[in-house]
Amino acid sequence: MLHAVSGALRRAGAVRGGAGKEAFAELTAPVAGRLRAAVALQGAATAVGLVPFLGIWAIAEAALDGRATRQRIWAWVAVVVASAVVACAVRLAAYAISHRADLVVADSVRRRIADHLSRVPLGWFTSGAASRGLDALHNDVGDLHPAIAHGRLDVAASVVAPVAAYGWLLFADWRLALVVAVPVGTSFVLYVRALSGAEERMRLVPLGMLAVSGAVTALVRDLPTLRVLGGPGARRPEAAALRAADRLRDGLRTAVAEQESRGARANALISPVVTLTLVLAVGTWFVSAGWADAVDLLPFLLLAVTVSGVHRIAETGSSLRLAYAAAGRLRAILDLPTLPESGAPREPEGHRVELTGVGFAHEPGTPVLEGVDLTLAPGTMTALVGPSGAGKSTLAALVARFHDPDTGSVRLGGVDLRDLAGHTLYRRVGFVLQNSVLLRTSLRDNIRLAVPDATDAGVAAAARAAGVHERILALPRGYDSVAGEDARLSGGERQRVAIARALLADPPVLVLDEPTAHVDPESEAAIQRVLSRLAAGRTVLVVAHRLSTVTRADQIVVLDRGRIVQRGRHAELLARGGVYRELWRALEGDPPAGPVPAAGRPASAAATGGVTR
């Protein structure tokens, strides 16, 4: 599953034109009829918009021939005004339809992606690939707008106006029409080459911008530490950000320089001055040679510039190509594999968690877990410990079905997690991440996020059980204080709010991923007291970074290189030696000499207060 997710996101960064065009057609399929109607209206408006030129020519011809009468002139004036009004009204209708279609597509795509992401493995959201995909999503829906609301209409106008105008010029004098075709055709070819030559490089620009964004984010995040430490290493993140920016700048400079060089030559050939000068020079020659009358030059003077606008087809095509690339990246997100849902979901019996023969790999050939057999009994607390990279967080994530195992099974109450409905699983399994996020809303609403109808008393009881109640009351507005505004909490305090949130939801199975990894000593002591009470009536799994926080766990499981190498209680493992004793010595210091004392009552024996919703 995860291999497919990674592959889909890699494809999102390198979308080819054909796939992007197909993706664009699929995303805009619900409004395809509206867009065709808008294009037809735009074409009609463009054609009608040429009628005023015809009227001007007719009035001038009548005046030069001496056939002009007041009635005839006013008739043509009426035609000119009416056609201009009709063209404007029809064009406005076309753009109204296309903009409405754009709103429908944007809303539809956002809803589809939101619905799809709700069924994507939760592990995707904690990966680096997720940030790249979501960054693309943030911009790509907006990149569809120019193509839907404007692009096709601009193409229609860029095709109809030159073709209709050139048809008229051919009718007026095919010889002069061929003269006009020479610079127009040459310029069009140069424009196409200018745009297509830089297309491959421009396709890499979004990835370059994401690289710069990531490097700058890392620099800002680490800046306080770097400034305090100083030294040569302190400038490495800054250098990385500058290198990413330089690569993006060089790529843009190359692509833009090539495009501007060819585009400048095309503009020079098709500029109004060049076109009109050519028409006047050749037309004067035709008149002096008796091959044409002076009045025959008027359509060319009026419409030659319109014919030269054919190059706008190539210019408009660039916005379409950008939209196709954006559509391809959005399609890649919609193609992310989802967690399969059972057609006949079952209900678990009890809250015993069993892992049997579990194996998992983020990438093929590099297993993170192998042959894991583990039972988490109800009413007990199990601690996962081990060296960095041993697979502790991955194993915990499998219990909450952030991913599905590649081999073996994870069962809750005797039922494979893959046979549980999503709402059933997450009603029974709570998860507290090591870097808990608080929403920018009141602390009260943050705590009752999973239980919106919880009473204030229930919220306070959960906060009290998590050891954060007094800290919240000390804030200016207490539970009404908004996280990130007037509630500036430390990492440990945010972690305790997240634990309070989980306690209020009251899941019978609770997974905590290194809850004390980034907290201060005071918060660590408070969280340790909470952990000692959590196991009563619950199945608790704790990923422990600091071994001192789990000495009272009913079961300590030691992972090393993806395998369980030891299990037992704290005193037993210290006495036994091996990986656990070495970890203790490295993290906590030498254990006491002689027999290792018991660590006190197991967590399952500790009492806990109830939380009222």
Between 261 and 146, name the one with better pLDDT: 146
Q: Which of 290, 307, 334 lies at the terminal end of a domain, its last residue? A: 334
Residue 25 in domain = yes
Q: What angle do CA 57, 58, 60 make, to 5 degrees?
A: 65
Check: CB of residue 105 under 8 Å from CB of residue 28: yes
Based on the fold, state whether residues 70 and 155 are members of the same structural domain.
yes
Residue 600 has pLDDT above 60, yes or no: no
Q: What is the mean pLDDT of residues 354-379?
A: 91
Which three-class secondary structure state does DSSP give residue 431?
strand
- 88: domain CATH number is 1.20.1560.10
Q: What is the mean pLDDT of residues 354-366?
A: 89
Based on the fold, state whether residues 363 and 425 are members of the same structural domain.
yes
Per residue in 547-566, pLDDT tens?
Answer: 888 888 899 999 999 999 99
Give the range with max mean pLDDT: 93-97, 117-121, 278-282, 305-309: 93-97
Between 165 and 103, name the one with better pLDDT: 103
Could you give the percent of the chain with pLDDT greater than 70? 70
Whole-number pLDDT of residue 458: 92
CA 177 to chain centre: 51
For residue 154, what are the contacts with CB-CB under 8 A and spacing of at least 6?
312, 316, 319
Per residue in 54-72, pLDDT tens?
Answer: 888 878 777 777 676 788 8
Whole-number pLDDT of residue 402: 86
Residue 212 has pLDDT above 60, yes or no: no
Q: Which of 306, 334, 362 lies at the terminal end of a domain, its last residue? A: 334
Residue 434 in domain = yes
Residue 176 has pLDDT above 90, yes or no: no
Query: Which residue has tokens 């430390």?
Result: 490
Instruction: Give the C-alpha separation, 447 to 500, whole Å.
Output: 6
Residue 130 in domain = yes
Whole-number pLDDT of residue 228: 45
pTM above 0.75, yes or no: no
Based on the fold, state whether residues 314 and 357 are members of the same structural domain.
no
Of 190, 199, 213, 305, which Cα lies nearest the Cα of 256?
199
Residue 114 in domain = yes
Specify the number of domains making up the chain: 2
Q: How confident is the model at residue 170 (pLDDT cuts 50, 70, 90)?
A: confident
Whole-number pLDDT of residue 359: 94
Could you give the percent of the chain with pLDDT greater than 90? 21
Average pLDDT of the chain, as a whole number: 78
Based on the fold, state whether residues 318 and 378 are members of the same structural domain.
no
Whole-number pLDDT of residue 548: 81
Residue 239 in domain = no
Residue 214 has pLDDT above 80, yes or no: no
- 520: domain CATH number is 3.40.50.300
Which three-class secondary structure state does DSSP give residue 99?
helix
Between 104 and 171, name the one with better pLDDT: 104
Helices (H) and strands (E) in the chain, counts: 23, 10
Check: CB of residue 385 under 8 Å from CB of residue 516: no
Q: What is the mean pLDDT of residues 86-102?
A: 94
Based on the fold, state whether residues 74 and 166 are members of the same structural domain.
yes
Lowest mean pLDDT among 37-41, 44-48, 419-423, 532-536: 532-536
Per residue in 371-401, pLDDT tens?
Answer: 999 999 998 889 999 988 888 989 998 998 8
For residue 383, what are the contacts with CB-CB under 8 A and spacing of at least 6?
541, 542, 543, 544, 550, 553, 555, 556, 557
Q: What is the mean pLDDT of residues 28-35?
A: 93
Per residue in 460-491, pLDDT tens?
Answer: 999 988 888 989 999 989 999 998 888 888 87
Per residue in 396-409, pLDDT tens?
Answer: 989 988 889 999 99
Residue 1 has pLDDT above 60, yes or no: no
Whole-number pLDDT of residue 2: 41
Instruction: Give the C-alpha separation, 439 to 437, whole Å.
Output: 7
Based on the fold, state whether residues 61 and 98 are members of the same structural domain.
yes
Whole-number pLDDT of residue 12: 41
For the chain, the farthest-separated pair of C-alpha atoms sits apart, in whole angstroms, at 125
Q: What is the mean pLDDT of residues 281-304?
A: 77
Between 356 and 601, name the one with better pLDDT: 356
Instruction: Give the C-alpha separation, 331 to 27, whole Å.
Output: 8
Which three-class secondary structure state does DSSP give residue 366?
strand
Neighbours of 232 (CB within 10 A): 6
Q: What is the mean pLDDT of residues 287-308?
A: 74
Q: What is the mean pLDDT of residues 333-360?
A: 87
Residue 257 has pLDDT above 90, yes or no: no
Whole-number pLDDT of residue 356: 95
The residues with which 556 forms a beta bridge, in sequence order, are 383, 568
Which three-class secondary structure state does DSSP give residue 435?
coil
Based on the fold, state whether residues 380 and 486 are members of the same structural domain.
yes
Residue 10 in domain = no
Instruction: Give the C-alpha separation, 109 to 145, whole Å.
Output: 12
Per residue in 576-587, pLDDT tens?
Answer: 888 999 988 887
Based on the fold, state whether residues 305 and 437 are members of the same structural domain.
no
Query: Which residue has tokens 């001007």?
Result: 56
Q: Where are the beta strands (DSSP E) in 402-460?
A: 407-412, 415-416, 429-432
Residue 104 has pLDDT above 60, yes or no: yes
Based on the fold, state whether residues 325 and 378 are members of the same structural domain.
no
For residue 210, what are the contacts with CB-CB under 8 A and spacing of at least 6?
132, 135, 136
Whole-number pLDDT of residue 193: 66
Strand order in the sheet with 415-416: 366-376, 353-363, 407-412, 415-416
Residue 2 in domain = no
Based on the fold, state whether residues 385 and 279 are members of the same structural domain.
no
Q: What is the mean pLDDT of residues 206-233?
A: 53
Q: How confident is the model at residue 270 (pLDDT cuts 50, 70, 90)?
A: low
Whole-number pLDDT of residue 333: 86
For residue 565, what are the contacts with CB-CB under 8 A and spacing of at least 6?
558, 559, 578, 579
Based on the fold, state whether residues 82 and 187 are members of the same structural domain.
yes
Based on the fold, state whether residues 69 and 24 are members of the same structural domain.
yes
Residue 69 in domain = yes
Q: How confident is the model at residue 14 (pLDDT cuts 50, 70, 90)?
A: very low
Task: Tell me which residue range forms the domain holding 394.
Answer: 353-605
Residue 234 has pLDDT above 50, yes or no: no
Q: What is the DSSP string of 6-40?
A: HHHHHHHTS--HHHHHHHHHHHTGGGHHHHHHHHH
